[in-house]
């Protein structure tokens, strides 16, 4: 990635064009390099009367002070925010690191926001605290809570709708099963979610269905490669048939439901549990002394 930046610097779009890397991975790399101070961010004037954010290598000959910043204090605040990456930084932390008075910082924030160099973001864990990050970065999931949060609130309705959709896909599929990848692809085709969901997000949804006992996971190697698929949970208990039980001894512990053991006519039944001796309703009384 550093080769994509070069000595003269490059914007995020220019880096993306130079190296073969997906946007999410690129953003993580930029965040790591900013944090380690190997690169810095600068404003570069474009031909439209505006400025673009440009990444430059730290400590190079071309890395002269940026004339787009009004003061050294403004540049220091900008670089401090830049190093926080997609996690952002609290205004309290900026104040501690810069040692600048609140009034001065307020003016700097206003100037940088006016040039669309930085923006305010909120965290789901501390909604009342104000924090900043670079304008062109997307907040991390640690801040936003990922796709399951809407305006910093856990969106129960949205999740329930997606869970029902996933369960419907699994139930109605010809094979009566689906992989996470197949569910994700179908979800995107049907444009169910306005928020972009990836396999990991869908896996979380299906996992909740599994924990609720609605679906179960199994490995499918029918195509020569083991793939985890999900199907509707098969019942552990078989329906109890009184007439059938009277004509034929029960041969498995899961062939009846526990509450039917206390049926009014249980005294006339003999139950066979696996390979054990047949048990009638009167037998437990032999163990009582009174």
DSSP 6-56: TTT-B-HHHHHHHS---HHHHHHHHHHHHHTTSEEEEEEE-TTSSEEEEEE
| d(C-alpha 143, C-alpha 90), whole Å | 12
Q: Does residue 237 belong to any structural domain of this protein?
A: no
The whole-number pLDDT of residue 245 equals 55
Full residue range of the structural domain in which residue 246 is found:
242-287
Q: Are residues 226 and 167 in the same domain?
A: yes
Q: Does residue 248 belong to any structural domain of this protein?
A: yes
The whole-number pLDDT of residue 171 equals 93
Q: Does residue 187 belong to any structural domain of this protein?
A: yes
pTM as predicted: 0.50
Q: Are residues 75 and 14 in the same domain?
A: yes
The whole-number pLDDT of residue 210 equals 93
Q: What are 11's two structure tokens?
A: 């914007």
Q: Are residues 175 and 110 in the same domain?
A: no
The whole-number pLDDT of residue 183 equals 95
Low-confidence ranges of the chain (pLDDT < 50): 60-67, 250-268, 282-290
Final residue of a domain: which of 111, 140, 169?
140
Nearest to 78 by CA among 99, 105, 101: 105
Q: Are residues 24 and 67 in the same domain?
A: yes
Give the CATH number for residue 106. Answer: 1.10.10.10
The whole-number pLDDT of residue 218 equals 92
| d(C-alpha 283, C-alpha 290), whole Å | 14
């Amino acid at each position: 990635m550093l080769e994509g930046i070069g000595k003269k610097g490059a914007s995020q779009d220019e880096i993306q064009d130079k190296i073969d890397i997906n946007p999410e991975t690129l953003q993580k790399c930029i965040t790591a390099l900013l944090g380690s101070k190997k690169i810095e961010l600068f404003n570069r004037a474009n031909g439209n009367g505006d400025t673009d954010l440009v990444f430059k290598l730290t400590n190079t000959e071309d890395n002269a002070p940026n004339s787009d910043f009004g003061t050294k204090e403004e540049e220091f605040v900008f670089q401090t925010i830049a190093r926080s990456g997609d996690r952002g930084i609290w205004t309290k932390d900026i104040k501690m690191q810069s040692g600048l008075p609140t009034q001065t910082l307020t003016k700097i924030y206003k100037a940088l926001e006016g040039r669309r160099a930085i923006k305010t973001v909120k965290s789901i864990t501390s909604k009342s605290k104000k924090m900043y990050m670079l304008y062109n970065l997307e907040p991390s999931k640690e801040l936003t809570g990922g796709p399951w949060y809407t305006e910093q609130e856990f969106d129960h309705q949205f999740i329930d709708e997606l869970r029902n959709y996933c369960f419907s896909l699994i139930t109605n599929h010809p094979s009566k099963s689906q992989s996470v990848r197949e569910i994700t692809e179908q979800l995107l085709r049907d444009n169910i979610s306005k928020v972009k969901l990836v396999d990991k997000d869908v896996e979380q949804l299906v996992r909740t269905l599994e924990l609720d006992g609605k679906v179960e996971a199994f490995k499918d190697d029918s195509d020569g490669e083991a793939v985890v698929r999900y199907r509707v949970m098969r019942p552990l208990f078989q329906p109890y048939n009184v007439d059938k039980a009277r004509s034929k001894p029960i041969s498995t512990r899961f062939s009846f439901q526990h509450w039917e053991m206390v049926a009014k006519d249980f005294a006339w039944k003999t139950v066979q549990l696996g390979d054990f001796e047949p048990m009638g309703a009167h037998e437990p009384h032999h163990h009582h002394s009174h």
